Structure 1
Amino acid sequence: MKIRYVNQGVFTSLDHIEDTLTPPEEGFYWIDADVDDLAVLQPTFHMHDLAVEDCLSDEEQRPKLEIYESHYFIVVNSIRFDDEEIFLRAVNVFLGRHYIITVTKQKVNELRTLKPILWEQEVNSPDRFLYLLIDSIVDNYFTVGDRLEARIEKLEEDILMHTKKSHLNEIIGLRSEILWLKKGLGPQKEVINTLNKKDLRLIDDQLQKYFSDIYENAVKISETFDTYRDLMGNLREAYQSSISNRANEIMRVFTAITTVFMPLTLITGIYGMNFKNMPELDYEYSYFIVIGIIAALGITMYLIFRKKDWI
């Protein structure tokens, strides 16, 4: 657990949680904690039992905003894209009049990258901190969206160039991830919209209007994911079309080969008959003549098929 006093974006580390109980004349306190620290934080800040239970739960949390007497409890999902796999990590926020507490189970990049922004904008209130945190989390969805788009384009190129059976698994897996993200983004939009429109005493009225920009970005991201979902459907059709074309190409080659060998089989069949009086049976060069005819006929048919682009 890290305890910081923030004044005009400048951080001062504190050693004791008791130092945060008294509201400062200026600035606010930011407590960055993990779930194990809740045993100390809950009685100190009178956190609601249901909010603490949500933080400790192993199940995936739905984004939400809960209003309690002395604080708000807010859950938003941070997104991360590592090694071609997408993760959602819950950021639990307790917003008070003179403090903000962030509780996470894993490291969240947005909390680390937020520090220079706080210093640059000389942040001096916990509600402003909350705004910048949610804005950073939503902006990161655009970054992940760009990487998803690049992955879709590469997959489309691979399918068109050389279709593999593994491509179908990639299409199904990627489409499932997109639908999963789309499903989780809906409640997050609702939370942001609530922060924008609902009368909230712990958030400044002037600042509250800025949440509308974040909401518009969330809507754009949701629409982008809808587009990606449609693209995955197109990719699946392209995969199936490529497989069909490949099968047709193989059948065409087999048909051409069969056509080439049909007259050759006819010739060998005639000269394989065991009649006593066969023409050219005792001729010294009959075998070489037949082989030459077969070779010339096969090569001629092959060249004709190549010229017509049949094989």
Structure 2
Amino acid sequence: MKPHQSKIIVGLLVKRSSRTKGLPPGTPIHIGQKRTDKSSIRLIDYNENNILINENVGEQEIAQKPSKQMIRWAHLTGVHDVDLVQTLCRKYDIHPLVLEDIVNTEHRPKLELYSDYIFIVLKTLNLEGDDNISVEQVSLILGKSFVLSFQESTDPILQPVVSRLEQGHGNVRSSGTDYMVYALLDMIIDDYFIFTESLGERIEELEDEVIENPTTATLHDMYRLKRILSVSRRSLWPLREIVGRLYRDPSALINTSTNIYLRDLYDHVIQVNDQLEGYREALSSMRDTYLSSISNKLNEVMKVLTVISSIFIPLTLISGIYGMNFLNMPELTLPYGYYTVLLLMFVLGVSMLVYFRKIEWI
């Protein structure tokens, strides 16, 4: 992982915009990443036997009611187009506060129960590159005969559900709107497993680096992953309450037959959160391992310096003594004095090396 490549795209860490200051509650103002792509609405009317898909519909098509006994799923991409979001929500009498929450993409995941519909805010997570994370908001509204979904971008994260509808696979077409919302939630949570798997691979690579060759860049990578984990937990932790309330709290919009699937979905949410908690603990212990590895490397350097100093200190002492400028030094007149001193210094040096080898310092 290269530190200069780090980039975290996250609305959850940004403070709430001041653009809504002074405005009355329920005023729809888009808050989030600025986008230039065109917003669109796709209408899917379906029942057990038939399905009708209309792309890029306008206000006229939205106003038309689906045929009897058919469920309508309206999917809007591009919540930055506030007027288009208003057009769709107005058709289904969605409360202005819900509309405000849909176009504000910095909301925490949540669930709100209304008299004739349920409003859910979720986050999708995606790892980009080595250590980049993108967070996107998806909002769902579950009604008696309709499902509305709102997405920031055109990323086809819900396309597998559309494919199941087209091909008639599973129970989506033969079930009600509650099962449709379950299918959408299940698709998003399945993506969380892919996200956590990729995140786990990053952490394993970093663990190997910490043990084999820890550097300052390694420490930077650890803190970046820690920040990614923090963002991920903010997005995933509220899902426990959201899915838990869906299957525990009584609602006329949730059939008993769907509760079984929601309970299974709750288990998946617990599993994903447990994985993130495990990664957080792994990063915490990894930091201790990093500090220990750096300390060991420093000790090795100090050991080498100590060995070198211990060998050369007596040699320096001897050369210092015989380097003094006294006129009367008897050893200086000996014919073999120079060679004797060299031999003494050599023996001392070798003796020190043997000693350090014996105590396994080298």
TM-score by length of 1: 0.88
| 5+ residue gaps, structure 1 | none
Distance (whole Å) between structure 2 residues aligned to residue 114 and residue 292 of structure 1? 86
CA RMSD of aligned residues (A): 2.5
Cα deviations across residues 46-75 of structure 1 (Å, max 9, x unaligned)?
A: 2210011011225x2122222334432211
Corresponding residue for residue 217 of structure 1: 268
Corresponding residue for residue 93 of structure 1: 140
Match of 2:258 among 202, 207, 214: 207
Distance (whole Å) between structure 2 residues aligned to residue 187 and residue 38 of structure 1? 25
Instruction: Note the C-alpha offset of 1:297.
Output: 4.1
Corresponding residue for residue 13 of structure 1: 54
Distance (whole Å) between structure 2 residues aligned to residue 226 and residue 42 of structure 1? 38
Distance (whole Å) between structure 1 residues aligned to residue 287 and residue 213 of structure 2? 14
Contact 1:3 1:17 in 2 (8 A): no
Contact 1:77 1:188 in 2 (8 A): no
After alignment, is 66-75 or 138-147 more displaced?
66-75
Cα deviations across residues 203-237 of structure 1 (Å, max 9, x unaligned)?
A: 33211331000111111222222222221221111
Secondary structure of 2:269's partner?
helix
Secondary structure of 2:332's partner?
coil
Corresponding residue for residue 77 of structure 1: 123
Contact 1:89 1:108 in 2 (8 A): no
Contact 1:94 1:100 in 2 (8 A): yes
Instruction: Note the C-alpha offset of 1:133.
Output: 0.9
Instruction: Note the C-alpha offset of 1:272.
Output: 0.5
**AA partner of residue 172 (structure 1):** Y
- 2:245 matched to 1:194? yes
After TM superposition, list the pairs within 5 Å mapping 1:1-311 onto structure 2: 1=40, 2-8=42-48, 10-13=51-54, 15-20=57-62, 21-33=64-76, 34-35=78-79, 36=81, 37-58=84-105, 60-83=106-129, 84-118=131-165, 119=167, 120-121=169-170, 123-124=172-173, 125-281=176-332, 287=338, 290-291=341-342, 293-295=344-346, 297-299=348-350, 301-302=352-353, 304-306=355-357, 308-311=359-362
**AA partner of residue 82 (structure 1):** E
Contact 1:48 1:68 in 2 (8 A): no
Contact 2:122 2:235 in 1 (8 A): no
Secondary structure of 2:361's partner?
coil
Distance (whole Å) between structure 2 residues aligned to residue 202 and residue 23 of structure 1? 19
Cα deviations across residues 176-219 of structure 1 (Å, max 9, x unaligned)?
A: 33233223323211111111122222233211331000111111
Cα deviations across residues 63-112 of structure 1 (Å, max 9, x unaligned)?
A: 22223344322112222122222333211112223322211112444312
Q: How many residues align?
A: 310
After alignment, is 83-92 or 234-243 more displaced?
83-92
Q: Indicate the percent of aligned positions where both proteins have the same amino acid.
A: 31
Contact 1:23 1:98 in 2 (8 A): no
Cα deviations across residues 252-292 of structure 1 (Å, max 9, x unaligned)?
A: 11111110101211220121022223345356775566456
After alignment, is 265-274 or 66-75 more displaced?
66-75
Secondary structure of 1:210's partner?
helix
Distance (whole Å) between structure 1 residues aligned to residue 86 and residue 218 of structure 2? 48
TM-score by length of 2: 0.76
Contact 2:142 2:177 in 1 (8 A): yes
**AA partner of residue 65 (structure 2):** T
